[in-house]
Amino acid sequence: MHCKETQPSIMPDQSKILLIGPPNVGKSAFFNRFTGMNVSVANYSGTTVDYTAGKLDMGDKSFLLIDVPGTYTLDATNEAERVAVEMLRGKPTGVICVVDANNLESSLYLLLQVLEQGLPVVIALNRFDLAREKGYDIDHARLAKELNVPVIPTVAVTGQGMDRLKENLKETIEKGDIPSLDWGIESDARWEKAETLADRVQKIGTSSLLTRQKLGQWLIQPWPGLLMAFLVLFLVLASVVGIGMGLRRFILLPLFRGAIIPQIIWLVEYMLPAGLWQNILIGEYGFLVKGLEWPFTLVLPYVISFYGALSVLEDSGYLPRLGALLDGLLNRIGLQGSSIIPLLLGFGCGIPGVLATRNLSSPKERIIVSSIICLTVPCISQTGAFISLLAERSIAVFLAVFVVAGIALVISGLILDRRIKGPKLQTLMEIPDLLVPSKEVVFKKVWLRVKHFIMDGALPMMVAVALAALLYETGLMAAWGRLLSPLVTGWLGLPEEAAVPLVLGILRRELTVIPLMEMNLSLLQLFVGAVVALFYVPCVAMIAILAKEFRLHMAFAVLAVTTIISFLAGGIFFRLGSFFLTL
């Protein structure tokens, strides 16, 4: 989602080529290879939640390649299938149908439906390597002959077969070959044809299970799967915190505090006389000091460590297993196992989390998961700030904040499940093979996220810090603090200046936390501040995405509920904490 997306409808004149296939077959990997762009890929169904378009050059002509969301059939039973059917009706120049060599029969059913559209088609028989490993021997030449359409065995992640596919596509489009049909177009006749074809072209040999296949089966058993799930989640948390702290302490902090910032201070002092403008640039909230230090030494290390861990989880195919293991528990708070993916993405950033809810089976579940992400799931920028603010002072307080978040998640799930009307759908999801994540892909993903954080995270944060500097130096901030003092000081027990992060927090979630670090707060005040920050309004970008994905009133409801809950919870914890401390 974090690349340039072009809406195909904006360019009606350009010839379009569609990339169609079942979910989790590697269509996005083809797309990235052909266009040089980078759309997100992972080892589970439904990574592409919207269509994405990019330029594909073939010889002297250029085409618009469209990555259509994965669909098992063209029966238009869900949103992704409706998108695919609509695109096929839009008269594209050609279609690349990606067929899964591991699940030939059901891929062939979709292929037959695509061929029925009367368009030039080439077939990419993808994941050929995995099929061979499982003992499937597919006679692709025979398949091509049976259907009279070019069939190219490919391995999209390594790029094998890509050039041949492109050549064949070019040839097919130039000739304008349209496949002929010799099967009935009813569902049963199509399944019969798919079955006969699969029987004719595929030989299933015996193969012994590989270690990772055995591991994959082992991890899905309740025992030891649940224990392993607990260990995996613990390891993920430990590596996010550990690696993040290491990156901060040993690399980024020395780099910024030791090398970059002193140079800037020296330069500003040399160029500007002491006064308002110098203070805005390098003073208390100086945006060339805090505006660099906060995003790059406080948040960036955790962005790197979190996305490193998440990419490994995503590409290994472990997440659907985790979803299946926890499905029974999640059902009790109105969610399904598949909700685990948007929730985990939400721990990175709420926006991809909310977008990933599009894959969930019912509107009710979408609303529940999105609300939970907004209310109780801190994004990695905020978590990074929590770690820096709390973990370095007291690990217990840091863990307590996460326990509060966990309890809030369960309670909000229980309440929303009862309040929101709508049918509850039954869990039905594919568990992909366990794969060893490719180092290249993981590094590429982390790099993309870092780039995205710098553009969409660090820059707005610098702007927010500049705003804070301006308010601070002009005395407006102190006035704002006095205005909110009954709430901030009286109710929450925080110093007056803590009113500032409440304004900045609307721009970026982590800014509700970071300024607290500079205020010499007691442990109780830190905890109260962190709880307020945890429940406080999501950032502006999240509000915008909620309004876009749902309705405007949902965005307003989230704003109101988060504000009320954050102050209510903060005040209650302050009173409880003060009471216990006096005992």
Look up residue 276 and give its two tokens: 């308002």
Among 14, 217, 239, 278, binds other proteins (CB under 8 A): 217
Among 179, 291, 295, 323, binds other proteins (CB under 8 A): 323
Please compute, for residue 40, the number of CA atoms within 13 A of its CA located in the half-sphere on the CB side: 24
* Beta-carbon contacts of residue 401 (< 8 Å; ≥ 6 apart): 386, 390, 527, 530, 531, 534
Nearer to other proteins, 317 or 346 (CB): 317
b vs e for 260-288, b when ≥16 Cβ sit within 10 Å of the residue's Cβ? ebeebbeebeeeeeeeeebbbbbbebbbb
Say if CB 343 and CB 377 are below 8 A apart: yes
Asked if 578 touches other proteins (CB under 8 A), the answer is no
State the minimum distance, in angstroms, from the CB of residue 429 to other proteins.
5
Kindly indicate which of the ranges 116-124, 165-173, 214-222, 302-310 contains the residues binding other proteins, using the contact rule CB under 8 A.
214-222
8 A C-beta contact, residue 159 and residue 77: no
Distance of CA 318 to CAs 67, 96, 242, Å?
Answer: 24, 29, 22
Least Å from the CB of residue 417 to other proteins? 14
- Closest approach, Cβ 1 to other proteins, in A, equals 24
Shortest Cβ 330–other proteins spacing (Å): 9
Going by the DSSP 8-state scheme, the letter that residue 8 receives in this structure is G
Min CB(214)–other proteins separation in Å: 12
Q: What's the min distance (Å) between Cβ of 223 and other proteins?
A: 9
Smallest distance from the beta carbon of 121 to other proteins, in angstroms?
Answer: 19
Q: Determine which residue in the list 62, 77, 158, 438 makes contact with other proteins, applying CB under 8 A.
A: 77
Stretch of 74-82, 169-177, 393-401, 526-534 lying at the interface with other proteins (CB under 8 A)? 74-82
Q: Are 365 and 335 in contact (CB under 8 A)?
A: yes
**Pick 323 or 570: Cβ nearer other proteins:** 323
220, 260, 519, 554: residue in contact with other proteins (rule CB under 8 A): 220
Q: Between 225 and 515, whose beta carbon lies closer to other proteins?
A: 225
Q: How far is the CB of 229 from other proteins (least distance, A)?
A: 11
Question: Within 10 Å of residue 247's Cβ, how many Cβ atoms?
Answer: 18
CB atoms within 10 A of CB 191: 15
**Measured from the CB of residue 430, what is the shortest distance to other proteins in angstroms?**
6
Site string for other proteins, 131-160 (x = CB under 8 A): ---x--------------------------
For residues 222-241, which are near other proteins according to CB under 8 A?
222, 225-226
DSSP state letter for 423? P
Mapping DSSP to helix (H, G, I), strand (E, B) and coil, where does residue 53 land? strand
- Per CB under 8 A, which of residues 107..126 are in contact with other proteins? 109-110
Per-residue mark of binding to other proteins, 172-201 (x: CB under 8 A): ---------------x---x----------
CB of 46 to other proteins, least distance (A): 12
Q: How far is the CB of 441 from other proteins (least distance, A)?
A: 23
In the structure encoding, which two tokens stand for residue 338, read together?
């598949």
Which range touches other proteins (CB under 8 A), out of 24-32, 70-78, 409-417, 526-534? 70-78
Binding characters for other proteins, 533-552, by CB under 8 A (x = yes) = --------------------
| Binding characters for other proteins, 411-430, by CB under 8 A (x = yes) | ---------------xxxxx
Q: Which strand (E) or helix (H) includes residue 203? A: strand 202-204
* Closest distance of CB 79 from other proteins, Å: 13
How far apart, in whole angstroms, are the C-alpha atoms of residue 450 and residue 307? Answer: 9
C-alpha of 78 from chain center? 21
474 binds other proteins (CB under 8 A): no
Residues 334-373 that bind other proteins (CB under 8 A): 337
256 SS3 class: helix
What one-letter code names the amino acid at 409? L
Work out which of 5, 50, 105, 177 binds other proteins, going by CB under 8 A. Answer: 105
Contact between 279 and other proteins by CB under 8 A: the answer reads no
- The pattern of x and - marking residues 429 through 448 that bind other proteins according to CB under 8 A reads xxx-----------------
Residues touching other proteins, count (CB under 8 A): 38
Q: For residue 54, what are the β-bridge partners?
A: 65
Dihedral class, residue 89 (left if φ above 0, else alpha if ψ from -120 to 50, else beta): alpha
For residues 373-412, which are near other proteins according to CB under 8 A? none
Kindly state the smallest distance separating residue 96's Cβ from other proteins, in Å: 19
DSSP 298-348: IIHHHHHHHHHHHHHHHHHTHHHHHHHHHHHHHHTTT--GGGHHHHHHHHH
Query: Residue 100 Cβ, how far from other proteins at the closest point, in Å?
Result: 10
Cα 291 to the chain's mean position, in Å? 26
Stretch of residues binding other proteins (CB under 8 A), selected from 105-113, 158-166, 285-293, 489-497: 105-113
C-alpha 437/C-alpha 582 separation (Å) is: 53
Q: From 201, 287, 301, select the one nearest 249 (Cα to Cα).
A: 301
DSSP 504-533: HHHH-GGGGTGGGGGG---HHHHHHHHHHH
Name the DSSP letter for residue 249. Answer: I
Q: Pick one of 116, 133, 177, 327: the residue that binds other proteins (CB under 8 A).
A: 327
CB count within 10 Å of CB 408 equals 19
- Which of 19, 14, 15 lies closest to 32, judged by CA? 19
Residue 145 vs residues 132, 150, 393: alpha-carbon distances, Å: 21, 8, 69
CB 32 within 8 A of CB 304: no
Residues that bind other proteins (CB under 8 A): 22, 72-73, 75, 77-78, 102-103, 105-106, 109-110, 134, 187, 191, 217, 220-222, 225-226, 320, 323-329, 331-332, 337, 426-431
